[in-house]
Structure 1
Amino acid sequence: MNHQPGRRRILCAALSTLTLASTLPAMAWAQADYPARPVTLVVSFPPGSGADTTARIYAKRLQEITKQSFVVENRPGGESFIAAQAVARAKPDGYTLFFSSNALTLHPALFKRLPYDPVGDFAPVALASRGTNVIVVATGSPYKNFGDLVSAAKKQPNAVTFGAGGQGYRVYVELLAESVGVKFQDVPYKGAGPALMDAAAGVVDFSIGDPSAVASLVKGGKLRALAVAADKRHPMLPEVPTGRELGAPAFEIYSWTALYAPAKTPQPVIEKLAGWMRMANNNPETAAAMEKLGIEVFSGGPDDLRRFQATETERWKRTVARAGIQPAE
């Protein structure tokens, strides 16, 4: 009887075991030594944007904590697809991360097909920040308060116009319309800035923007703020009531940021990053830096982010469906 095949199988098994045994310590060592080189935070917005500035606050804090460089890389354009795909395709070793925003929860509602999987392609790490939005009209507008705006829209459905600085803003205003039972007519713009300028000029009846963008225009007498889409008044505009105070409790809209890693990133790396993000969020300097931007710390670990992403995704899918918005191809 020829025993050679049996001996060959035993030898191959032994070699496989030795290879695995030699690889595992190396992998474990790489994770224990993480980060051993600079880490890249990919942002889907250009330099100087709110998300970019927030990412740089965290990059600085993470660098202070780990004594290793955290570098912000801007990959704007393509509806945030470019940045998302770059991270989804990156090696899952913790050295390329996605400092993401609302796109991961809005995209599934606004597009029939995506070039990436918002859930399957990423490993949640931590929530970072959130900021709200403010409804504004021109100072010479006949709408002196939120009630005037809603009353006009009820009398003439689709007659009151709003400047939508992108598809996301359109969905936000649809949530407002749904919460008060009216219909507005959207006027699309390429960016919140032009939409706010036309609202100030009276070209459109109203628009929405983040407090840091509208506060100076309000204080300069070019815009009047009617409502804050949050659960509490904003420190930059303390005199402006919330949607909840005005009878629209469902009108809470936050622009948020969070940290993700590529799917299959080792759990020890995820846990390290989550712990460092928790330290960054608890640092008073982080809160102080964000306050200047009109935003706030929004803490939460991997499980919190996973649940938050799922809830927000379903929320926007329902809003888009009820508004009759057709997702793009």
Structure 2
Amino acid sequence: MNRFTLPALGAALLLALMPGLGQAQAFPDKPITLVVPFAAGTATDQLARAIGTQVTAQAQQPVVIDNKAGASGMIAAQQVAKAAPDGYTVLITTNTTHAANEHLYKKLPYDPVKDFAPITGLGKGGQIMVVNPAFPAKSVAEFVALAKKEPGKYSFGSGSSSSRMAGELLQQMAGIELLHVPYKSNTLAVTDLLGGQIHMMITDSATGLPQIKAGKLRALGVSSAKRSPLAPEVPTISEAGVKGYEMGYWFAAYAPAKTPPVVVKRLNELLAAAAKSEAAKTAFYEPSGTEVFTSSPQELAQFQAAETQKWGRIVKAAGIEAE
């Protein structure tokens, strides 16, 4: 009897010592929720929807998009940090929650490192500086000249840390003083820019380009080191008057901490394949000018650490005190 009982006990002990093994073999066997820290229509939301569609096609399970906008992504990040570590709740986020916020806020309701299991990078992109067509400045140089003439008169809006830091860096490098107006999302800031409530913003291309192409906003410059292939006529901010200026953003996926490594590995496979798919490229990456950026969980952790240090330097140089 012992010859048959001991192997059975050994198998039971193996499963007990390897949490998530049985789960991973069938993962996913129910809907996955992708939590997005920003409003519907933002670049992160568009990316999550493009990725989610492809995950559904691969895994044959529904993917639910849950937009939890507000508090610079902290609401969504906290929700995922507290979620069950089973792989069915994933944060599709940016450098806002996982590199910038810890330098901008004295107390975060989550720990960007300890509370999450990195899955994969998803993309990198540049931003675009836009104004209302009625605004007198038709170039970056003209905007800077106006701002220097009347310090503090002109405002810039932001709905993410990437957008805010782009504006802060512009002030620092151009030697100008602007009034910062915060929003829950870049789309809300664009709405006020269209209505003339603010004067300028530097937003993600996915949000700004449709308004530019429709003639509702005027592009002054792109924040990346090179011109965007989607708007080659728009100069970089560096070549348009603020030499050396460069600011971008990135997307990545995270699960709650303590998610079993085998489940993280499966999520990495699903999300990376989704990002590299032709369908996602057509739906999001090409229209938004975003570069596909996938990684191993370990590579994402290292990348995040380096980015956190970089954003800390920018915040300190801009003289921003944590709120």
The alignment's TM-score, normalised by the length of structure 1, stands at 0.82
Match of 2:54 among 37, 61, 64: 61
CA contact (8 A) 2:227 2:234 kept: yes
Match of 2:80 among 79, 87, 104: 87
Code of the aligned partner of 2:109: P
Counterpart position of 2:37:
44
Aligned-pair CA distance for 1:208: 2.0
CA contact (8 A) 2:77 2:97 kept: no
Please give the per-residue CA displacement for 1:56-92, whole angstroms capped at 9, x wherever unaligned.
2111111212223332223333432222122112222
Match of 1:309 among 295, 304, 315: 304
CA contact (8 A) 2:171 2:178 kept: no
CA distance in 1, matches of 2:20, 2:187: 48
Residue correspondence of structure 1 range 131-170 to structure 2 within 5 A: 131-153=125-147, 158-159=151-152, 161-166=154-159, 168=161, 169-170=163-164
Code of the aligned partner of 2:80: V
CA contact (8 A) 1:145 1:226 kept: yes
Counterpart position of 1:238:
232
* 1:244–1:201 Cα change, 3 Å: same
Aligned residues: 310
Code of the aligned partner of 2:307: E
**Residues 1:185 and 2:203 are matched in the alignment:** no
The alignment's TM-score, normalised by the length of structure 2, stands at 0.83
* 1:59–1:124 Cα change, 3 Å: same
Match of 1:172 among 166, 171, 177: 166
Residue correspondence of structure 1 range 209-248 to structure 2 within 5 A: 209-246=203-240, 248=243
Q: Specify the SS of the correspondent of 1:72.
A: strand
CA contact (8 A) 1:97 1:262 kept: yes
CA distance in 1, matches of 2:15, 2:124: 45
Q: Specify the SS of the correspondent of 1:135.
A: strand
CA distance in 1, matches of 2:70, 2:140: 34
Counterpart position of 1:116:
110
CA distance in 2, matches of 1:147, 1:98: 39
Code of the aligned partner of 2:299: D
Aligned-pair CA distance for 1:203: 5.8
Structure of higher CA gyration radius: 1
Code of the aligned partner of 2:82: R
Q: Specify the SS of the correspondent of 1:133.
A: strand
* 1:238–1:77 Cα change, 3 Å: same
CA contact (8 A) 1:176 1:251 kept: no
Counterpart position of 2:97:
103
Which 10-residue stretch deviates more, 268-277 or 206-215?
Answer: 206-215
**Residues 1:324 and 2:316 are matched in the alignment:** no
CA distance in 1, matches of 2:293, 2:317: 29
Counterpart position of 1:297:
292
Aligned-pair CA distance for 1:173: 0.9
